[in-house]
Structures are given as C-alpha cells and as structure tokens.
Amino acid sequence: MNLKGEMSMLNVLHLEHTDVDAITAELQKKRDEMPQFFMQSPVVVDCNILGENVTDFDFLTLKESLLKLGFIPVGVRNIPASMNASLAKAGWAVMRESRKAYVEDNTKESSSEVNNESNKDHNTEKNNDITIKDVTNDPEQNLVEDQGLQQAVQAPRGAAMIKSLTVVKPVRSGQQIYAAESDMTVLAQTSAGSEIMADGSIHVYGALRGRVLAGAMGNESARIFCQSLQAELIAIAGRYQLLDESDTKLIGKPAMIKLSGEKLIIEPLMS
Amino acid sequence: MSKVIVVTSGKGGVGKTTSSAAFSAGLAARGHKTAVIDFDVGLRNLDLIMGVERRVIYDFVNVINGEATLKQALIKDKRVDNLYILPASQTRDKDALNKEGVESIINELKADGFEYIVCDSPAGIEKGAFMALYFADEAIVVTNPEVSSVRDSDRILGILQSRSKIAEDGGSVKEHLLITRYSPDRVEGGDMLGMDDIVEILSIPLIGVIPESGTVLQASNSGNPVIMDKESTAGQAYEDVVSRFLGEDIPLRFVDVEIKKKGFFQKIFG
C-alpha cells in the first residue's frame, strides 16, 4: 500500500450566486454539451466569489443535483472556518487553498502517456524538473488573483511540479501522441498525417506538419509554439482551424498560437 | 555479425522487389554471403525478378510449418556465388506467417553464416509488411518522387521505429532512403518532387537515387537483377547504393538534367 499526497485533475465549480436551481440548470447545459467529458468527473466547489453569502448556501441540494447530473462532489473550498464542521458532517471534504486556474492546471502532479495505436513505445523522456516558478514567470500570469500569485510563487520547491513529455524522434504519419495532464515538447518534426495532443501547451522544434491539439481537456490558456508552422490543423481547447483556411502569413515560419476568446490567434514567435 | 535489412515502402509498385533483388545481388557479388527472403506470401514476385521461378520447390511457408528444411527451400543463384533466395508461397496468404517461425528462420540463416539477410516486404502496413520489418536491424525505405509514396514511406518509418523488435527493446532501426524511378527532367519541369524535398519531408539519410530507366523493366522481365547490367544507369546507381551501404562515401549520379550538346547543324538550324 502506498498513500501519498498528490494532485490530480479536478473540475472546480466557482459559485457566483446562491441560487441552486439556476446553478443546476447551467451545469446541466454544460454537461449536455460534453456528456462524455463530464461523466463521473469529480467536482470541487469554490466559494471565493460568494464571500460572506456562503453561509446561506444550500450545499445539500447542490450535492444532490451534482450527483443526479453524474458528477462526483468531492469537496468545498474557500469557506469560513465556522462552516467546516457542518460541511464535513454533510460528507464534503473541506479543502484548504485556492489558486488561479492557470497555475493550477500547470502545476498538477500529472501523468503523461503516449497513446499511439501503432506505437506503444515511442521514444520519450519524462521530465520532472520544472518548478512552478517557470510557469509564473510569464508576465501575463499576473492576472492571478489576490493571494493566489503569492501562494504560487512561495509554494515550496518540489511541492507542485509539472510533468512534461519530451518526444525526441520524428512523429510520423499515422502516429498519435497524447501528453495527458502535461505539456509536450517535440524535438524533431511532426509529419503530415500525424497527430499530437497535450492537455497543456505544445512546443515543436522541427517542422510542424501534422495536426496539433493543445489544451485537449479544455485548458484555454494552453498554447502552441513551433519553429516552422506547416500544420494541417491547429486546435486549442476544442477550437480548431485548418491552417489552409487561415489568412496567416506565417506558414513555414516560427509561430505561436493562442486562444483569444473563441478565436485562434497566430503570432510570430520572437527569438 | 549478420545484419537483417528490410526493403520496405508502404506503397506498392515503387520498386521494393526490384531493389531487393539488385541490392542482395550487389552484396553477394562483392563476396558477402547474402539471403533474400520474399515476404509477399500469396503474391510471389521475387523469384520472377531473380529468374528462379522454375526452380521453386519449397517455400518460406513450408519452412515455417516444418514441411521442409531451410536448406531445401533456399535456392542458390546460378549467376552470383553467395546469393540465396527464399521464395514466398503463392498458394497461401500472409496469415501463414508468424513471429516465431520468421525468427527461427532468421536465426538459422545467421547460424549458417549469412552476413546479410534482405527481407523484401510486401506493400501495405498489414501482417506481411509487419513480419518483414519486425526483426530488421536496418531498413531501406523505397520511395518514388510523388506525394502519396512519400506519405506512405513516412507512415512505414513510424511503424519501424515503434513496432519493430529493436524499437520494442528501446533501440532504433537504422534508416536509409532510396529514391527510385527518379527523372531529373520531370523534376525540373515541376511534375515530380525533387530529391531535396523528399529528404526534407522524411528527414532520413539518402542512400541512393535510381534514375527512371527502361532497362529496369527489361531486366525484370528477363529475370536478371538490374544491377547485373553494368551499362544501364539504374544498374550503376544500384552499385553505388551497395557501396554506400558498405560504408563508401561516393557522390550521387544521374540526378541532374543532362546537358545535351547540340550539334553544329542543330545550332544553325535548331
């Protein structure tokens, strides 16, 4: 037996008001859009936005609604200490900290897997040496709210490491590689007819010719970086585009792709 | 140390069997004991190209099934010493092949002192092609200068580096790119992919470029590996491939458009 403190992927439900029926309706809508995705998925309820109003909230009804919709209610966080006992009694785990979504997504203790119908053993190296500081170095991460950033930066080294999948050989036509809950770095080319996917961001140092899907589980802040953009299809968090249908002038050039609202933005990659 | 070399491509009709025949005959002619195995069970062709079709008694599948010994099935070439052909079965299909059977044959060939075992792969990515590449140490990937052939070669390279025995054991198969049916004129005219483009797409080392040549078809029809035709450009190009495979560093030939010198009268009237 082995009991360890690890972090894994959880959906966080940020409560914005106390109307349980409205929340249930919204959840139902979300779930119906992607029933496979949310099936039996664990949910943590975050009450940070509610503030003091949280004391009025009907956690019992919410729990029933979540169960009915096929979610698994796990815990509650950002609640006043006075509520700990009653929630624990109602079967909720009381969780301690909160961080901004992006930092969270990138600091998960994650498992990387190579998923390849014809390729069980693609040459990959796993890298555990990226600390949370690398993540928060990005100036755009200053949107990390309130105490979140402080907490993130001060997190003890090693407490929140991310994994990254490094692919050292060309990804050939017909091959498919998926980095679960992780970033992916490809040091070689990816061929036309190949497919690379990561829950985080993707970096490709050879020519990028196949399909590339970052933020595969819905991380909208995932990005794609490449030295020679020749991809067939680009996608971030489910928003996809055929490269031939974009008006980019960056084909064959170093580029970065990010999501802005519902639109994929292709920018030159400064070196 | 014996080496197993698979000649493969993914796509059909690009010149795998022609190349297998020429390459193995070239190795044998230089004194290396070489066996060439036809993995195209059900569509037996190598014996025709090698001109031994009327000498086939037992085949690859017979040996796998224990109906004949390897010695009985191997056909010794009459033109080149050191060259042996193991024909495929024409009456069976690819399901007759299995890993254990293929492995035992390859091991027996190694034990018999064969330096090179050339596996002529069938087209496709199904069982026959998989069996041909599974035990390979090195691979010659045959590609024609057109997009679908290049794409299929790319696919087979992926399979080589993930599903071959070496790859399963954490190593990698040494790759060689062989471009066949190359026509510099048509590349110049933009009808064909240039060799630089193909190398760029596949990014593996080039071992040779075989020019499009009528002598290849003649050689096939007459059952003589084209490498034995010392006059033909294709034959010479295959000789270069063998040299490069054996470690010589020689420049590519027959890859540029020939400058045709006009005669005096053509200059005036032409």
Interval B134-143: pLDDT, tens: 999 999 999 9
Percentages helix, strand, coil for chain A (3-state, rounded to 5) are: 25, 30, 45
The pLDDT of residue A143 is 33
For the ranges A75-79, A177-181, B33-37, the lowest mean pLDDT is seen at: A75-79
Q: Which CATH superfamily is domain A9-129 in?
A: ACT domain (3.30.70.260)
For the ranges A95-109, A115-129, A229-243, B190-204, the lowest mean pLDDT is seen at: A115-129
**Would the CB atoms of B163 and A118 count as touching at under 8 Å?**
yes
For B158, the closest of A118, A120, A121 (CB atoms) is: A118
What is the dihedral angle through the alpha carbons of B212, B215, B219, B221, rounded to the nearest 10 degrees? Answer: 90
| Residue ranges of chain A that CATH labels 2.160.20.70 | 133-268
* Cβ neighbours of B161 in A, within 8 Å: 122-123, 169, 172
The pLDDT of residue A131 is 29
Instruction: Answer whether A119's CB lies under 8 Å from B163's CB.
Output: yes
Looking at residue A51, the DSSP 8-state letter turns out to be G
**Would the CB atoms of A169 and B172 count as touching at under 8 Å?**
yes
Mean pLDDT of A13-24: 85
Instruction: For residue B130, give the nearest of B8, B218, B262, B252 by alpha carbon.
Output: B8
A120 to chain B: closest CA residue: B162
B52 vs A: CB within 8 A:
no
**Would the CB atoms of B158 and A174 count as touching at under 8 Å?**
yes
Rounded to two decimals, the pTM is 0.69
* Cβ neighbours of A210 in B, within 8 Å: none
Dist CA A254 CA A257 (whole Å): 10
**Would the CB atoms of B154 and A123 count as touching at under 8 Å?**
no
Residue-by-residue DSSP string for A114-128: ---TT-TT--EEEEE
The pLDDT of residue A198 is 96
Phi/psi for A199 (5° steps) reads: -75, -25
B168 vs A: CB within 8 A:
yes
Average pLDDT of chain B is: 94
- Tell the residue number behind the tokens 């928003």, with chain if given: A239
- Alpha-helix runs per DSSP H in B164-206: 165-168, 184-188, 195-202
| Residue ranges of chain A that CATH labels 3.30.70.260 | 9-129
Name the minimum distance, in Å, from the CA of A198 to any CA of chain B.
20
For the ranges A56-65, A240-249, B95-104, the lowest mean pLDDT is seen at: A56-65
* Cβ neighbours of B154 in A, within 8 Å: 172-174, 191-193
* Cβ neighbours of A194 in B, within 8 Å: 158
CATH label, A133-268, candidates 2.40.30.30, 3.40.50.410, 2.160.20.70, 1.10.10.10: 2.160.20.70
The pLDDT of residue A249 is 94
Instruction: For residue B60, give the nearest of B24, B18, B92, B82 by alpha carbon.
Output: B92
* Cβ-defined contacts of A214-220 (< 8 Å, 24+): A214/A257, A215/A259, A216/A178, A217/A9, A217/A37, A217/A181, A218/A37, A219/A102, A219/A105, A220/A259
B151 vs A: CB within 8 A:
yes
The pLDDT of residue A82 is 80
Interface test with B, best of A117, A120, A172 (most B CBs within 10 A): A172
pLDDT digits (tens, 9 = 90+) for B26-78: 999 999 999 999 999 999 999 999 999 999 999 999 999 999 999 999 999 99
pLDDT of B249 > 80? The answer is: yes
The pLDDT of residue B261 is 54
- ipTM (interface pTM): 0.81
pLDDT of A151 > 80? The answer is: no
The pLDDT of residue A72 is 82
A230 vs B: CB within 8 A:
no
**Would the CB atoms of A169 and B161 count as touching at under 8 Å?**
yes
**Would the CB atoms of B154 and A120 count as touching at under 8 Å?**
no
pLDDT of A139 > 50? The answer is: no
Instruction: Answer whether B48's CB lies under 8 Å from B220's CB.
Output: yes
A170 to chain B: closest CA residue: B158
**Of all residues in chain B, what percent carry a pLDDT higher than 70?**
96
Mean pLDDT of B164-176: 95
Dist CA B166 CA B248 (whole Å): 25
pLDDT digits (tens, 9 = 90+) for B76-125: 999 999 999 999 998 888 889 999 999 999 999 999 999 999 999 999 99
pLDDT of A135 > 50? The answer is: no
**Would the CB atoms of A193 and B201 count as touching at under 8 Å?**
no
A106 vs B: CB within 8 A:
no
> HSE on the CB side for A133, CA within 13 Å?
5
Neighbouring C-beta atoms of residue B206, cutoff 10 Å = 18
